[in-house]
Amino acid sequence: MTTWLVSIAVALVVLAASVLLFLNPVWVGFEQDRVGAAALTGFAPADVRSVTSSILGDLILSTGDFGVTLNGAPVLTDAERSHMRDVRGVFEGFFLLVGLSAIALVVTWRRAATAASRTRWWAAARRGAGALVVVIAVLGVISVVAFDAAFEAFHRLFFAAGSYDFDPRTSHLIQLFPDQFWSDTTIALAVVAIAIATAVAWIAGRRRQGA
């Protein structure tokens, strides 16, 4: 059994579980109300929810091509739709990796037939969850003190230069999801991920002792 594989897989699965908690209309709508998305877009609150639900559906479920319209006019420009397709590609790649990680956890657990190997499995799981806590804490501090720089670095890492630069005065995509939306969501995601990872590390530690 490769313990480093278990550690990485646990970290990815915990991170994915945390992200999924925020990919829902309840959180998105709550945060959009907080940052005033309706005022920024000039849309009625009900239209903001409808448009956002369509975009989330296209992103998560691949139900469309981000061609949502409002009063017969497209909400997103061609450039914004292209960027959202890129975002969907990143999500698909990430969750494919998470799916493989989940399979790896099942396979390595089934192969850990002895008490000693089970102890090593739980120890590796604990290390993975603990390492995730440290990484998120470090990135969280960086985001708090330099969110704009961190946000830009993230986009440069995953997207082509110039493909994500939109004018907040005219871009409905930015107005629906302004910087404050992402700043608040990042902080909330970090808190939840740390809480879940800490719980996983504690459980793994207890199971390691009992294995």
Distance CA 187, CA 45 (A): 25
172-206 burial, b at 16+ Cβ within 10 Å, e below that, comes to: bbbbbbbeebbbeebeebbebbbebbeebbeebbe
**pLDDT at residue number 1:** 55
Number of domains composing the chain? 1
CA distance 118 to 27: 38
Q: Report d(CA 175, CA 53) in Å as an integer.
A: 15
How many angstroms separate the CA atoms of 58 and 12, rounded?
23
User: What pLDDT sits at residue 148?
Assistant: 83
Separation between Cα atoms, residue 146 and residue 158, nearest integer Å: 19
Dump pLDDT digits (tens) for 47-75.
999 999 999 999 998 888 999 999 999 99
Q: Which domain holds residue 102?
A: 3-210
Amino acid, res. 63: T
What integer pLDDT is reported at residue 208 of this predicted model? 82
Q: CB–CB of 173/78 below 8 Å?
A: no
Burial 33-49 (b: 16+ CB within 10 A, else e): eebebbebbebeeeebb
Q: Are 179 and 37 in contact (CB under 8 A)?
A: no
CB atoms inside a 10 Å sphere around CB 142:
13
The predicted structure's pLDDT at residue 210: 64
How far apart (Å, rounded) are the C-alpha atoms in residues 36 and 74? 21
Spans of the chain below 50 pLDDT: none
pTM score, whole prediction: 0.91
Here the tokens at position 61 are 């479920």
